[in-house]
Amino acid sequence: MQNDPAGAEIQINKPTPIKSSTAFTSFVRGTDIQEMIDRLLQGGNVLIEEFYSNGLELLSELQTYLRRKHPGQGFQEQRAYRSEYRKLSSLVLIEIKDHQLAVKKAPSIGWLEKLYPESNDFLLTFPEVQGLNSAWQWYLNGVVVPVLRNKIHPYYGVYFPTRFEHLQLFDNWLKRYDGPKKSAIDVGIGSGILSLQLMKHGFQKSFGTDLNPNAIVGLQESMKGTKLAMKIELDYGHLFGKWIKPTELIVFNPPWLPASHDLGRLDEAIYYNEGLFPEFFQEAKKRLLPDGRVVLLFSNLGQITNVAKENPIEKELADGARFELDRFFKKSVKQASSKTRRNQHWRDTEEVELWVLKHKD
C-alpha cells in the first residue's frame, strides 16, 4: 500500500494469494498429463511440484488440447480459445515460500517480496507467476521505446505498448505543433509515454490520471528525485480525475476494442465499455481552452475484426454538438512477427489513427 500525491492510500493491484490449504491434485514428472487436463476440465486444482518446468509442460499440453478444440483462425475463434485457456489455466497452482517459488530451477521474481512483504506461505496460479516473472524482467531491464530518449521500466500490472506506430504519429504531430505548451492533461497515463513525449517536445506541465493504481505508484517510484516529479503531476482517478482547470491540450490513448465481457485490470487498457467515449467527450469539452486541441490515438482494429459496429470518434464528430475535426493522420501497422503463434492476418489492413479535434464553432 502506498500514498498518492494527495496523501491518500492506494491499494496496489496484484494477484490474490490462495490459501495453502486449498484442495489440489499434485503434478510431478511422470504424471499422466491427460489425466491432469481432465482434472482441470472438471474444475479441479492442480499443484505444480518438484520442477518449475512441470508447469510449463502442463500449460503447453493444455494449449495443444485447446487448439484442437478451437481450430479456427478468425479473431472471434481465437478470442474463444484465449477465454477458455484463461479459465482452465487459472486452476494450475504453484506454492510460494519465503518469497520464492517452492520448486526447483525456478526464476527469482522480485515482485514476490515487493508486493507481498507480509505474506510468506501461499499459492498463486501458474499463469499469474508467469506474468509476475515477465513483468519483473521488463521492470529490471527496461523497455526501449523509439520515440523516447530513455527506456521505461513498467511497474507490475501496467500496460505498455509493444508496437509503436501510434506513438510515432503523435511524435510527428508534436514536432509540428505550434500552439502554447504551458500544460496538458494525459488521460489514462499508464506507463507515462505520452507525457514523456510532451516533456521531450517542450511542454511545461502534464497532469496525468489513471484508474489503475499500479500506474500511479509505478510512475511515482520511477520519477522520485527527478525533475519529472515536478513536471508530471499524477492523480489516481477515472478519466480526468481531479483536474478541472482548462488546458490547451488533452491527450488520450484509449482502448481500441469494445468490451464483450466484464473487464479485468489489464483488460481496461485494451477494451472499452460503451459509456467511456461519451463521458470522455463530455468532460473534455469542459476542460479544453477555447483554442485548445484534443488528440486521440486510435485504430481501425475494431472495424476490420468485426467486433465494433462504429468508430466512437467518428460517432462523436457526426453528432456535431461538441467538437469538429481539425486534423487526421493514419499509419499502416507493421506486420506481426513470424515468431508469434497468433494468427494476426487482420494486421495487413490495420491502421493506427491520430485524431485532432477542436471546439465546434
pTM to 2 decimal places: 0.84
Task: Tabulate helix, strand, coil % of the chain (nearest 5).
Answer: 35, 25, 40
Q: Which residue has the higher pLDDT, 316 or 338?
A: 316
Residue with cell 497468433: 342
Contact assessment for residue 26 and residue 48, using Cβ atoms and an 8 Å cutoff = no
User: Per-residue pLDDT tens for 206-258?
Assistant: 999 999 999 999 999 999 999 999 999 999 999 999 999 999 999 999 987 87
The residues facing 289 across adjacent strands are none
Contact assessment for residue 164 and residue 146, using Cβ atoms and an 8 Å cutoff = yes
pLDDT of residue 342: 47
The band of 271, judged by pLDDT with boundaries at 50, 70 and 90, is confident
Lowest average pLDDT, out of 52-66, 130-144, 341-355, goes to 341-355
Q: List Cα–Cα distances, 197 to 28, 184, 214, in angstroms.
A: 49, 11, 21
Among 266, 267, 15, 265, residue whose Cα is nearest residue 125: 15
The band of 31, judged by pLDDT with boundaries at 50, 70 and 90, is very high
Contact assessment for residue 244 and residue 207, using Cβ atoms and an 8 Å cutoff = no
Q: List Cα–Cα distances, 159 to 45, 215, 244, 254, 264, in angstroms.
A: 29, 8, 26, 12, 12
Among 101, 165, 210, residue whose Cα is nearest residue 353: 165
Q: What angle do CA 158, 259, 285 make, to 5 degrees?
A: 80
The band of 162, judged by pLDDT with boundaries at 50, 70 and 90, is confident
Structural domains in the chain, sorted by start? 2-139 (no CATH), 165-359 (3.40.50.150)
Q: Is the pLDDT of residue 343 over 50?
A: no
Contact assessment for residue 165 and residue 333, using Cβ atoms and an 8 Å cutoff = yes
The band of 51, judged by pLDDT with boundaries at 50, 70 and 90, is very high
Residue 325: phi, psi to the nearest 5?
A: -75, 130
Average pLDDT over residues 259-271: 53
Contact assessment for residue 37 and residue 57, using Cβ atoms and an 8 Å cutoff = no
Burial of 191 from C-beta contacts in 10 A (0-12 / 13-18 / 19+): buried
